[in-house]
Every structure is written in C-alpha cells, then in structure tokens.
Amino acid sequence: MNTRQAIRSTNDFVIKFANVNGSGSASANELFARAIMRMGVPVSPRNIFPSNIQGMPTWYEMRVSGAGWLARRGGCDMMVAMNPQTWDRDVAELAPGGYLVYDSTKMLPRSKFRDDISVIGIPLTELCSRDYPDVRQRQLVRNIMYVGALVGLLDIDLAVTERLVSEQYRGKDKLIDANLRALRLGHDYARQHFACPLGLRVERADAVGDRIFIDGNSACGLGAVYGGATVTGWYPITPSTSVIEAFSSYCRKFRTEPDSGRARYAIAQAEDELAAIGMVIGAGWNGARAFTATSGPGISLMQEFLGLAYFAEIPAVIYDVQRGGPSTGMPTRTQQSDLLACAYASHGDTRHVLLFPEDPYECFTLGAQAFDLAERLQTPVFVMLDLDIGMNERLCKPFDWDDSRRYDRGKLLSHEDLEAGKDFGRYLDVDGDGIPYRTIPGTHPTKGAYFTRGTTRNPYAKYSEAGTDYVYNMERLRRKFDTAKTLVPAPVLTKAAAPTRVGAICYGSTSPAMAEAITLLQDDGLHLDTLRVRAFPFSDEVMDFIAAHDQVFVVEQNESAQLRTMLINEGEISPKKLVRVLHYDGTPITAGFIAGRIADELAALKVSALEPHANPLRKVAP
Amino acid sequence: MTYLAKPKLLRPDTPRNALGYTRRDYEGAISTLCAGCGHDSISASVVQACFDLDVEPHKVAKLSGIGCSSKTPDYFLGNSHGFNSVHGRMPSVLTGAALANRNLLYLGVSGDGDSASIGIGQFAHAMRRGVNMTYIVENNGVYGLTKGQFSATADKGSKSKKGVINSDSPIDLAALALQLGATYVARSFSGDKEQLVPLIKGALRHGGPAFIDVISPCVTFNNHTGSTKSYDYVREHNAAVNRLDVILPKAQIEASYPPGSLRRVVQHDGSILHLRKLGVDYDPSDRIGAMNYLQERQALGEIVTGLLYVDSSGEDMHAHLNTVEKSLNQLGDAYLCPGSGALAALNASLR
C-alpha cells in the first residue's frame, strides 16, 4: 500500500483482536493490555463475545488513549486477524490506512486483502510448529507469540512484557519458559522483518497513576465481602455469574476461620432465580446480610418475591448485571434496560432503591454501601451495573476503606432493647421517617416475636384487611421512600466551562463516554452541564438540576428512555424538557454518538454555538 | 390449636415442662380455619411436641407458603417468629433463614397445593440440599381457599365435592422425599395424634431434612364419600408400619417392649427413637425397601403411615458448606470486613 496514507498515531488508537472463543486468547490479550498500562498509558479493552463455549468468533477491542478516555471509541486502526471464519468482515472493518496483522503461514490470495492498508504477515503457526513439539502447547503459545510481535511492532517495552509473563505464570516455571520464548520469537520476527515501530506506537507516559485494572463483577464480589454479606443464593446467568465466582474466591481468602478452616459465609447455588432471591429474603429476615447476582431474565423471575420483600420490609441486595433484553435478548451484549423492571418490580404499588455504579471502583463502594442501605431501609436495594463494566476490566481508582466505618444494621432491636420494655410494633412509624423497628428470630424468649407476611397487617403485624390499616402502611412506605432520598449516594455534577442553560443527565457505564462527549461538544462551542445520577429515588439535587436548565438531554443505553420515564414520573417533569439520547444496539455507547446526537438536537433547536445562553430555549412549565 | 379463646387464668396444677412453660405458652392466635379442619389437629400436635421437648419458643422459626395450611403457623408457637411467604416458595426462604442462623429449629409448614404443585421444585431442592428442618405438609388433596379444586396429591379416581372424578396421577410427596435425600420421612394422619406427636418430636430432634406428609381432611371440600382424603377413608385404609416413641438423652426409659419388637435409632443430638413394630417386619433404615413398600401398598389402596425412613448419620447443608459453628447472622464487623490493609495488597496486585 501507499505508506504515506498509513495512520500515524502515538498512544491514541484502537486495536482489535479477532479470535476464536475457547482458544486461550483472552489471557494473552489481557497481558498485552497490561503491558501498555505498565508503560503508563491508559487502555480500555472490551470483550465482544458470543453466547457460546467454544468455536465461535470473539473479539477483544482495545482503545489506547494517552488522553485517558476509557469509553469505547469505535473504529479500528489495527486488526489482529486470528480467526479465518471472520476474516472478510475483520479486514473490511479496518480504517483506511490501518494495519492488518495475521498468521501468514498459509498463503492467502491477493483478493483477500485491501490495498489501502498495511499488511503484516507473521508465520505464527510455522514458528510454533518449528519450536514447540507439543501440539497442545502450540495453540497457546501462538497467542503469546502474536503479543510478542505486537510488542515489537508498536514499540512496547519488551522487559515490561516479560515481567508480566513471569507474574502471570508465577510458580509454573515450565510455562514461564515456554511463553517467554514465544514472546521473544514473535518480537524478534517482527523486528527483523518490518520497519518497527509502525506508524502506530506506544510511548511511555505517566497517565495511569495509581489506578487499578479490574472488572466490575469482581469489584462487586469484593464489595459484598466488605459490605458484610454472609449469605448468597444465586443461579448462573450471563453476565452476572462472575460476581459470585469473585465473592466465592474473596471469601476463601478473607473469610476462612484461621484455625478451623471453616467458612464465615454460605454460598448456595439455587435451582432458579426464584429460589435464589427466596434464600436472600429468608437470610435477610433472619438477620444476615444477603445478596444475589443476576441479569434481566432473573429479575423477571424474582418479581413476586421482590414485592414480598418490599411489603414485608426485608433487607436484600441484588446486583443486576444488565444485558440486552427483552426475553433472552442479547445475553452477551450490554444495555441499561432493566431500570423500570427493577424500580417498580412486582405487582401493586412498589418502589425500589437502585444504585448506578459508573465503574469497578463504584461497583465496590456502592456494592458495599448497598448492604447498609438495605438494612437501614429494610428493603431490597439493586446495584445496577451492566455487562460493559461488569465483564470488562477497566482502569479505576484503587479501592479504599475507612477502618473506622461500622456496618449500619439499622433499626434492629436487641435483647436489651426488648428488655427495656419499649412498645414494639413491627410496622409502627415511631420516628416519623417511615422506617419501623424490627427484631430477628431468637432474640428474646417472650418479647419481640411477630408474624411476617405479605398480606396487609396493622402496625403490630396482626393480619388486617381494614382500609385504614392498609392506608397507614402505604403512607408510611411512601415516607420511607422519601427518607431513602436522603440516604442514597448524591448525584455528581460537572459544570460546563461556560455558563449554559443546557444540561445532560447520564448514569452508570455511560459516564466515560459522556465526559468525553462534553469535551467534543465544547470544542464546537457547545456547553452542557452534566449530572451523573447515582441512585433512585432521585434526590433533590436531580430535580434542582433539571429545574436549572431549559433543556436536559437524558443519555441512556436502552430503547425506551427508562430513566427519563422515571424522572417524568417521580419529578412531575414536563416530558418536553427531557430529550432522549438513546443507544441500544448492544455495543457500549461512544462519545461520538452522544456528541453527534446532542449537536444535531441543539442545531434543530437553533441553539447558537456562539451564544449558548443568550437565547433561552422553549419555556416549559416547572 | 386455639380454636376457641381460652381464659387467661391458669389453674395452679397446670402441667409445666422443664423450662416452666405450659402448653398455652406454645399456642398462637385463634385459628380462623373451618371447625373440624384436620390442620387444627396438626397445630395442636406441634404445640404438644414442642411442649414435650422443652423447646424454647423463641429458638424456633416457623415458615410457610400460601394456603389454608400455610396460615396455621399463626395458630401455634406465638412466641416464635413466623414467616408466611409466597405461594410454593417457603423452602427457599427457610433455606436462606437456616443459612443465616444454624442454631435455631426450623419448622416449615406447607400444603399439597403449595408443595406438590406450585412449589414442587423448591420442595425437591430443599430436600436435595439437606436443609436441617422439619417440613410438614398438611395434605388434604384439595384447594380450600379457592373452593375445592383438586390438588396434585388427589388420587386418580377420587371424586370432588361437585362430583368430578380426578383423572390425573397423584404425586406422593413422601416417596419423592425418600428419593430426593430426606433423612427422616414419615406419613401420618391428623386424626391420629398419638402417632403424629412423636413423629413431629422425632423430626424436630433430627439433624437434617425431615419430612412429614400428614393426611389432613378438608371438612368443607373433601370429606365426602368418593374422596380418598376423607376422615372415614383414611381411617379405613390407614396401614401403620410402626409406632414411635422419642426418648430425650437424659430421660429414664420406662417402657418395656417385648423382645424383637423394637428398633432403636440414636439421632445426632443423642435423642433416641424407639420404633415399635406393628405386624409387618418393616425396616425403616432401608431407603430402597421403603420406596418399594410404599409403591406396593399404594397399589393395594393402602395409606402407609409411620416413620418410613430414618438415617441418623446424614450430614446437613451446613456440614456440606463447612460453615462456622457460630451463626452467620451473629458475626460482627471484625469477622466480616478484611479492612484497608487487605485492600492495599489487593490494589497492588491489580496494576
């Protein structure tokens, strides 16, 4: 190709690996990502994988961004094409001037290539066959070999990469040797046969800092350990399963009784999601901190039980790792489409507390805080992450914990409290905040026992179908939900560089794309204040933000604008004021998409880039 | 059972158990079930069993699903926490509760609709999982609250009150429990408290999943001629294999038995089950034999009752999970939270 057209970029490109799932490529690709991070350059990789165990195509798409942008960028500057099955579409996907790295052992006809890209053929299979007699090992070292080639091609520090290999296989010396050899073979071949570095290269920087690299599901599992969870009932479902795997692994590490080796936790794999949430509710009723992890179909199955927990006022924590719905939908693709199903889960008048972590750091912090909220409010609390942050490793702040912090067990009466002879009415609003006092079984021989039920009852937990009792209870639950507003994490406001009457609201995994979109818009002279909502019920700051702007974009990764619906419903906001920006094809939202949509809408609304606030937008009723 | 409100005053000679409690201390709210309902007799048997065993009322958690039977935990053990959960899902709620605190007695009460239809999955898996509990099904073969539809335990050929003949095959929950791993399986009849009370006592002292299928006639919808769950029918077809006496570890054994007529089983907690043989030479330690016997007798139209199977060597769910002795719900922050030091090391491994 004409090399003058080749893309030239340092620390700012997208590289995509096309692999076959089950071929062991994931750990090699992750090692490659870590090598770049160790050089101080931020990366954000994303697995694009099928609902399948072995043999189907899978991609690992990685953005390298010296500027630190962690959202998906889209596009592809370099394709490492290791899957013959998807060759044609992989080659087609490359940007003009991009680079194609492939296994050149087998000759491919000219028609299989493009003439506007750089083609880098490395005879991986041949090199492996020559050097590795063990056939099974060949496949695995082939992966590390292309990493070696990329290290050479992109000017990545070989010593850093070698150290990572040694860390990854610590204690398995044979594997270290085999992998190091393959790494160097790939590296040397690239250096000997191509002009290295290419137009794309990685240069040492200092943009990673002390951040850590972990997936949100693992962070949730750790958050559950730190949050004091002792019981989990769960049922396997993509993309949430690894939350439980992580919880289990951190429990073995942190929750094994030193002398006896016995477990300070109980993990029960249930027969379905109904039983999973049933166990959580049983444990919560009995005074243990309990949680489950699931995804959309599981949420659907849990509806009846969630209504019981709401009405009988039992703490429970649910990590919902959202995927594409409805029905089985897109099980391995990301979406934020369970908000309504969770916020108003179950029949009758219900409202539930939702938390929206933006990244693994918040999966940990909100994941732990959820248990305090659930016990304080005696109600289910949902941590609404999604596949994008749940199953992909993401750079985030290191985890921290305040050792002076104590679990908030809420209004839980002890033996002494009951001895003191206070009037105990399980559903009595003693403090005016809607939150009643509770007891757990076994507390006192003669005081504090009550009968828990999903039917209406009076404040003393006695069965009642009296309208007055029912209304008292519903009004108290409403007050309790108002109290929740003051307890949930506050939204995060980011002011625009210049005063503006236009705002944007986002939540969860949309956060990095939103931040990047704002700078893109700003470059075009369009200024927006942004508010990242972190919880439902919406605290007053959310409504104040909407009131302070003439037009507010609500950026979501679902088709029906679910958060917007909730804002309209709960805040009595005029729908005209809230403009939808919706991305829902299953891929993570990009800054380009958000900025493009907002710029188009603003143009249609005739908001001048030069005078962003001189010309107020359409007036709407408060 | 507390069908009628009773005076609060106690006679000075009212019997008290070792804890100083009277039977009244084990009673609950006034039953709202129909007069003569078999379920009320079962409630009374639970009261008697707990009184006899000197159970501390607050150390029992009673859980149920939805239906007539599931209402009954309100009518006994008023000083125990109760949980009337959702239809067919009591087993999972009980399982979670048992995970949270292994040091309480768990009593699950369910019905044939609750356990054999909507909740058969949860019933099956709670048995498989080895939850340490006493699971009583108050089995009347009919849906009472919705006025007389057949349930899944209704026998084929049984006639409903409206004259409809049931054409579906029945589910035998005791047979299922045997197959699924329950380590204490019994069947009884609400009209035979002498048989039922010891069976409940043995179950409460059993250290694993204990299941009792209690045929409990519905006087309103299923007590007519042609029903196989009526008082008359069950009395006529009841074929008891044994009679049980439960002896607590410290108790003096007073009864004497003719030689060869007694089988003795020592449970985990030291309680002793004395099984008096009745006629047939029935071996309650033979699970496969028990399953065959049930099938054979059922084919002959008999309702086999008694302690059908007991295995006192089984392990429960907590043993499988290797959990600590202390209840998980009693572990404080210091036992649960690894603290900031552990995070520093963890953060370092994630860079």
pLDDT value for A54: 81
Q: Do A228 and B58 touch (CB under 8 A)?
A: no
Q: Do A275 and B103 touch (CB under 8 A)?
A: no
- B214 forms beta bridges with B138, B188
Among B58, B323, B340, whose Cβ lies nearest the Cβ of A401?
A: B340
CATH class, A3-201 region? alpha beta
Site from B21, B56, B89, B349 to mutate, A interface, most A CB atoms within 10 angstroms: B89
User: Which amino acid would we find at residue A351?
Assistant: R
Burial A17-49 (b: 16+ CB within 10 A, else e): bbbbbebebbebbbbbbbbbbbbbbbbbbbbbb
The answer to whether residue B294 sits within a structural domain is yes
Instruction: Please tell me whether residue B175 adopts helix, strand or coil conformation.
Output: helix
Burial A130-165 (b: 16+ CB within 10 A, else e): eebeeeebbebbbbbbbbbbbbbbbbbebebbbebb
Two structure tokens written together for A536: 């439902």
Residues A425, A476: Cα–Cα separation, whole Å: 13
| Nearest Cα to Cα of residue A30 among A265, A254, A213, A194 | A213
Q: Which residue has the tokens 């935990």?
A: B73
Measure in Å the smallest separation between the Cα of A309 and chain B Cα atoms. 9
Measure in Å the smallest separation between the Cα of A344 and chain B Cα atoms. 18
The answer to whether residue B14 sits within a structural domain is no
Q: Tens of pLDDT along A345-375? A: 999 999 999 999 999 999 999 999 999 999 9
The answer to whether residue B348 sits within a structural domain is no
The answer to whether residue B10 sits within a structural domain is no
B-proximal residues of A, 190-219, CB under 8 Å = 210-214
Q: Do B96 and A452 touch (CB under 8 A)?
A: no
pLDDT value for B257: 73
pLDDT value for B4: 57
Q: Kindly provide the ipTM of the predicted complex, given to two decimals.
A: 0.96
**Which residue of chain A is at minimal alpha-carbon distance from B76?**
A451
Q: Do A441 and B336 touch (CB under 8 A)?
A: no
CATH dotted code for A214-396: 3.40.50.970
Instruction: Please tell me whether residue B340 adopts helix, strand or coil conformation.
Output: helix
User: Which amino acid would we find at residue A242?
Assistant: S
Q: Which CATH architecture has domain A492-604?
A: 3-Layer(aba) Sandwich (3.40)
The reply to whether A407 touches chain B by the CB within 8 Å rule is: yes
pTM for this predicted structure: 0.96
pLDDT value for B260: 74
Residues A385, A371: Cα–Cα separation, whole Å: 16
Cis ω for the linkage preceding A197 (within 30 of 0): yes
Where residue A140 falls among pLDDT bands split at 50, 70, 90?
confident
CATH code of the domain covering residue B285: 3.40.50.970
Q: Determine how many CB atoms are found less than 10 A away from the CB of residue A612.
A: 19
Among B81, B94, B347, whose Cβ lies nearest the Cβ of A399?
A: B347
Q: With beta carbons under 8 A apart, name residues in chain B contacting A439.
A: 81
Residues of chain A with CATH 3.40.50.970: 214-396
Among A266, A287, A444, whose Cβ lies nearest the Cβ of B58?
A: A444
The answer to whether residue B227 sits within a structural domain is yes
Residues of chain A with CATH 3.40.920.10: 3-201
pLDDT at A272 over 90: yes
The answer to whether residue B308 sits within a structural domain is yes
Q: With beta carbons under 8 A apart, name residues in chain B contacting A267.
A: 321
Q: Do A463 and B74 touch (CB under 8 A)?
A: yes
The arithmetic mean of pLDDT across residues A144-151, rounded, is 98
Site from A279, A364, A396, A455 to mutate, B interface, most B CB atoms within 10 angstroms: A279
**When comparing pLDDT for A195 and B255, which is higher?**
A195
Number of separate domains in chain B: 1
Among B60, B96, B339, whose Cβ lies nearest the Cβ of A279?
A: B96
Q: Do A231 and B331 touch (CB under 8 A)?
A: no
Q: If residue A492 lies in a helix (H) or strand (E), which one and from where to where?
A: strand A492-494
pLDDT value for A622: 37
Among B74, B100, B103, whose Cβ lies nearest the Cβ of A231?
A: B100
The answer to whether residue B316 sits within a structural domain is yes
The arithmetic mean of pLDDT across residues A167-180, rounded, is 92
B-proximal residues of A, 458-487, CB under 8 Å = 462-463
pLDDT value for A4: 52
Among B86, B318, B324, whose Cβ lies nearest the Cβ of A257?
A: B324
**Could you tell me whether strands A57-65 and A43-48 are parallel, antiparallel, or unpaired per DSSP bridges?**
antiparallel
Domain hosting B321: range is 23-334
Instruction: Please tell me whether residue A269 adopts helix, strand or coil conformation.
Output: strand
Q: With beta carbons under 8 A apart, name residues in chain A contacting B346.
A: 222, 399
Site from A230, A234, A318, A405 to mutate, B interface, most B CB atoms within 10 angstroms: A230
Instruction: Please tell me whether residue B248 adopts helix, strand or coil conformation.
Output: coil
> At a CB cut-off of 8 Å and minimum separation 6, what does A186 contact?
A122, A124, A127, A144, A145, A146, A147, A148, A149, A150, A151, A152
pLDDT at A614 over 50: no
Q: Please give the torsion angle defined by the CA atoms of residues A516, A522, A526 and A527, in that order, rounded to the nearest 10 degrees.
A: 80
The answer to whether residue B253 sits within a structural domain is yes
Q: Do A213 and B351 touch (CB under 8 A)?
A: yes
Residues A437, A428: Cα–Cα separation, whole Å: 8
Q: In A256-385, which residue ranges form alpha helices assigned H by DSSP?
A: 273-285, 296-301, 303-312, 339-343, 360-377
Residues A97, A89: Cα–Cα separation, whole Å: 16
Instruction: Please tell me whether residue B103 adopts helix, strand or coil conformation.
Output: coil
What's chain A's average pLDDT?
95
Q: Using CB atoms within 10 A of its CB, is residue A327 exposed (0-12), middle (13-18) or buried (19+)?
A: exposed
Contact between A280 and A232 (Cβ < 8 Å): yes
The alpha carbons of chain A give a radius of gyration, in whole angstroms, of 27
Residues of chain A with CATH 3.40.50.920: 492-604
Contact between A413 and A424 (Cβ < 8 Å): yes
pLDDT at A615 over 70: no
Site from A271, A286, A409 to mutate, B interface, most B CB atoms within 10 angstroms: A286
Contact between B142 and B149 (Cβ < 8 Å): yes
pLDDT value for B252: 67
**Which residue of chain A is at minimal alpha-carbon distance from B124?**
A271
Contact between A161 and A151 (Cβ < 8 Å): yes
Residues A13, A66: Cα–Cα separation, whole Å: 9
pLDDT value for B271: 92
pLDDT at A612 over 90: no
pLDDT at A573 over 80: yes
pLDDT value for A617: 43
What percentage of residues in chain A have a pLDDT greater than 90? 91
Measure in Å the smallest separation between the Cα of A19 and chain B Cα atoms. 25
Q: Determine how many CB atoms are found less than 10 A away from the CB of residue B290.
A: 23
Q: Which residue has the tokens 């309100």?
A: B74
pLDDT value for B249: 83
Give mean pLDDT in consecutive 10-residue pieces for chain B, a chain of 351 residues: 61 92 95 96 98 96 97 96 98 98 98 97 97 98 94 96 96 97 97 97 97 97 96 96 91 69 90 88 94 95 96 93 98 97 96 92
pLDDT value for A610: 42
Measure in Å the smallest separation between the Cα of A446 and chain B Cα atoms. 6
Q: Do A225 and B101 touch (CB under 8 A)?
A: no
